[in-house]
A and B are shown apart, each in its own frame.
Chain A
Amino acid sequence: GAGVSQSPSNKVTEKGKDVELRCDPISGHTALYWYRQSLGQGLEFLIYFQGNSAPDKSGLPSDRFSAERTGGSVSTLTIQRTQQEDSAVYLCASSYDSAGANVLTFGAGSRLTVL
């Protein structure tokens, strides 16, 4: 696609429910990143994929968070048993390859509100 697409753009859920956030990167981009941005805060790194592999999952805040990427394209970030502190904007970014890694194209984000 022309840009990084994220869905849903907004999600309101109740505490304890599971949510899935989807990221569709730019076609041909092999590297994919997830970040979390709480209100008024900076970007918190969550996870990085090169192809379908995630070399480092240590950025995930807890074991309630998981992410996968299939076919080297779409990625899903899953949050189980959501808590109010999970409320934030979840941003996805992609880059062409591991080369030029600092040049990321971000999506508009998925805003998650946990009641």
Chain B
Amino acid sequence: LAKTTQPISMDSYEGQEVNITCSHNNIATNDYITWYQQFPSQGPRFIIQGYKTKVTNEVASLFIPADRKSSTLSLPRVSLSDTAVYYCLVGPYYNQGGKLIFGQGTELSVKP
């Protein structure tokens, strides 16, 4: 299973774009990259998933370079409500072995 590395914490201000990068140097060919958001006292919530290049939805964008050894979650124009912990997860599309190991997460603090 690919091990992931993320910054422990990041600070931003309302209205700014925030980019959180996750490193996964030993990602496997059949691995997908998925990001989750977790607010205090809640379970993580799926944000976005991708395999390569760029994926965009109503919440965020995910940029994956050609070598796929890293990925960047981009949150446009953050607000106070985006303060949360963001987790990067790398794992196969078909779960054969069972373990899905989350990274340690990035605690994003958005200030007014």
Q: A42-B103, A43-B102, A107-B43 are in contact. Are A102 and B97 (CB under 8 A)?
A: no
A62-102 near B? 1/0 per residue, CB < 8 Å = 00000000000000000000000000000101010011111
The answer, yes or no, to whether A114 is at the interface (CB within 8 Å) is: no
B interface, CB within 8 angstroms of A: 32, 34, 36, 41-46, 49, 87, 89, 91-105
Chain A contact residues, majority secondary structure: loop
B49 near A101 (CB under 8 angstroms)? no
Q: Kindly state the separation between the CA atoms of A102 and B99 in the bound complex, as whole angstroms.
A: 11
Shortest distance between the CB of A87 and any CB in chain B (Å): 15
Q: A43-B102, A45-B100 are in contact. Are A106 and B92 (CB under 8 A)?
A: no
| Nearest residue, chain A, Cβ from B89 | A102
Q: A101-B95, A107-B43 are in contact. Are A48 and B100 (CB under 8 A)?
A: yes
B46 near A98 (CB under 8 angstroms)? no
